[in-house]
Structure formats: structure tokens, C-alpha cells
Amino acid sequence: MKLAYTTEKLENSCPMDIFIKKYVDVPRFLECCKMCPNYNKKWSCPNFTFDQISYWEQFKEIHLLGTKMILDESMRGSEYANPEINNFITVMIASEKGRLMQIIWDMEKKMSGSRGLFAGDCKLCRSCAKMEGKPCRNPDLMRYSVESIGGNVQAVTEELLGTQIRWTDGGIIPPYFTLVCGLLLR
């Protein structure tokens, strides 16, 4: 079995008023976040002390940036429980997430007043200071994700980035995985 993948860049922009109207549903996605083991355990994850809609409204536009990680044909349909495949996918996703984070940070530096949104929860620290009742150790680097502040990543991916999110089905590997980040523009 060949453990390899290729990537496809996904990119689009949307005015913020339209994005909020079509793709933001804070109560719905807060309920989803409550089922996550990171809920209220990381500074990047709900439960927040700020109003998420007000956070979105600070910006005029969102520029979406994603990566579709297309697995080698031989891996598709394999069992996720296979330790070699599981490790490969974990490393692949972490690597691509890190690459996207760096792109977003670089874009922020070039666009005054912009703010990035990362894929998934923050992984900057080994353990989040929130669990110790302390402030974020890296507030200049930590970013929220689209979904953590109420964005519907599945609808965004389908309607704005032109692809579907695929999930493991009964432990079976999908043909690809997708990560979505954003850059909020003033």
C-alpha cells in the first residue's frame, strides 16, 4: 500500500454580511462544540466570554483558504484502525494544518487589521493554560476556527469552495480530507 497524498488548493472570498446571513449559526454550532472534548478546555474553543456575531461583524469580508488532501488510491476504503494508516493521516493533517497556519499568519502581516481563523482547535501548546485557570500563553498566535465562532464549515466548503467534506464512515478511510481556514478582512 502506498502511503501518499496530493493536495488541491481551495480558495474564495465572501462579503461578511452575506457570510453571516448564510453561514453563521452560533447557537447551532455551540451545541456541536459542546460535544467536543475540547469544549471550554482551550482558549480557542467555546464557551467564550465575547459575542461571536459581534466578532464577525468587526470585518467586511472573509477570504477562505482550504486544502483538500487527496489520498493515494491504495489507501481509500482502508480501515482507519490500521496503525500505519492512522499515523500517516494524523501526521498528514498536522503537517497541512501547520502549513495553512503559516500562510494565514503571513497574510495577516501583509493585510493591516486582518485576523486569521485556523482549522480546528489550537495546537500551539502541549496543554492549554485555560485548564490551569491561566491566560493564553500565546495570545498573539492563537486563533479561533470558523466553526468555533459559529461558522458552518460544511456549507462553506460545499457552496464557496466547491467540494464536500468527507468523513470516515464506520472506520473506513474517505478518498480525501479537507481543512478550511479563513482570513477576516477589515
Q: What is the mean pLDDT of residues 83-91?
A: 85
Q: What is the pLDDT of residue 84?
A: 82
Look at the chain and report how many structural domains it folds into. Answer: 1
Q: Where are the beta strands (DSSP E) in 16-144?
A: 61-71, 115-117
Domain housing 69? 5-185
- pTM of this structure: 0.89
Dump pLDDT digits (tens) for 156-181.
Answer: 999 999 999 988 777 788 999 999 99
Which secondary-structure segment (H or E) carries 147? Answer: none
Best CA proximity match to 32, nearest among 123, 145, 164, 137 = 145
Count CA within 13 A, CB hemisphere, residue 164: 4
